[in-house]
Amino acid sequence: MGTLIDYFTRVANYDWWLVGIEFLLIGLVVYWVVDFLEGTRGERLFRGVIFILVVGVLVLNLVVERLEFLRLQYLYKGFLIAVLIIAVAAFQPEIRRVLIRIGRPRFWSGSSGQLSRATEQIIAAVADLSSSRTGAIIVLERRVALGEFIETGVRIDAAVTAELLKTIFYPGTALHDMAVIIRGDRVLAAKVQLPLAEAGSVGGVELGSRHRAAIGITTGSDALCLVVSEQTGRVSVAQNGKLSRDVDESVLRKYLAGTV
């Protein structure tokens, strides 16, 4: 208790506006982290780490130091260091996404004319697939290369057209299962196997394998992933590990233009 009283006594001697600015900055950082991790596995991990740290500091100040349990104090400080190391390993996908955002601009490679034509072809294909309730998952590669996943599928390297995409996902064809990866205005590969996010739900709705794959590929990269449900025909978009469901054409166009 004495340690906490000493802390608040020192804070009382600071300029109030400096303390206010510091708390505001800390609050903004925590809010940004929580917003960035919202809806992902990292959100639960972050809350768990914060809980351990807060409880640990209180226990350390109120009990261990007050009663002079020196060995417990030494062990607990080592435990906190281990928690931080484990947290860094657990947050690897989220840290990678942060570095991607900081170090890479959000645009596709290729000329604007080619990308505009490819965008219209993708929108047309998704609209037809949705109306016919044909399941599909389309991954649009951005600045982070997806070569390791492309190697798991069948190489195509063809211009993006609505007819090609609809043919690939037509039920019964050899390539309809799993995902298609697009780079710029080229379809690179089909029947690509993607990593699955952990089982869970969004908005109380259990996720199928396509939606989990969409979250999985966008958690570890800056890719954009479009999903058409074969049960409902509804279109979903995954970006930065978050899934938006029931996306209409206007919103889909904004995602493809990079304005969402």
Across-strand partners of 158?
Answer: 187
Give the position of tokens 């409902």.
Answer: 232
* The token pair that represents 39 in the structure block: 């809806």
Report pLDDT for 15. 72
Contact 209/230 with Cβ under 8 angstroms?
no
Q: Which CATH class is domain 112-257?
A: alpha beta
What are the C-alpha distances in Å from 244 to residues 43, 234, 251? 17, 11, 10
The half-sphere exposure of 144 on its side-chain side, counting CA atoms within 13 A, is 20
For the chain, which ranges sit under pLDDT 70?
Answer: 1-14, 34, 36-44, 57, 59-73, 90-115, 199-205, 259-260
Contact 184/114 with Cβ under 8 angstroms?
yes
First to last CA, the chain: 48
Taking the C-alpha atoms of residue 234 and residue 134, their distance in angstroms, rounded to an integer, is: 10
Report pLDDT for 122. 95
Taking the C-alpha atoms of residue 55 and residue 163, their distance in angstroms, rounded to an integer, is: 58
Across-strand partners of 186?
Answer: 159, 183
Report pLDDT for 88. 72
Domains of the chain, by residue range, sit at: 2-90, 112-257
Taking the C-alpha atoms of residue 236 and residue 256, their distance in angstroms, rounded to an integer, is: 13
Count the Cβ atoms, other than its own, within 10 Å of residue 63.
13
pTM of the model: 0.62
Report pLDDT for 106. 46
- What's the sign of the alpha-carbon dihedral 181, 222, 213, 193? positive
Put residue 224 in one of left, alpha, beta given phi > 0 → left and psi -120 to 50 → alpha. beta
Taking the C-alpha atoms of residue 258 and residue 260, their distance in angstroms, rounded to an integer, is: 6
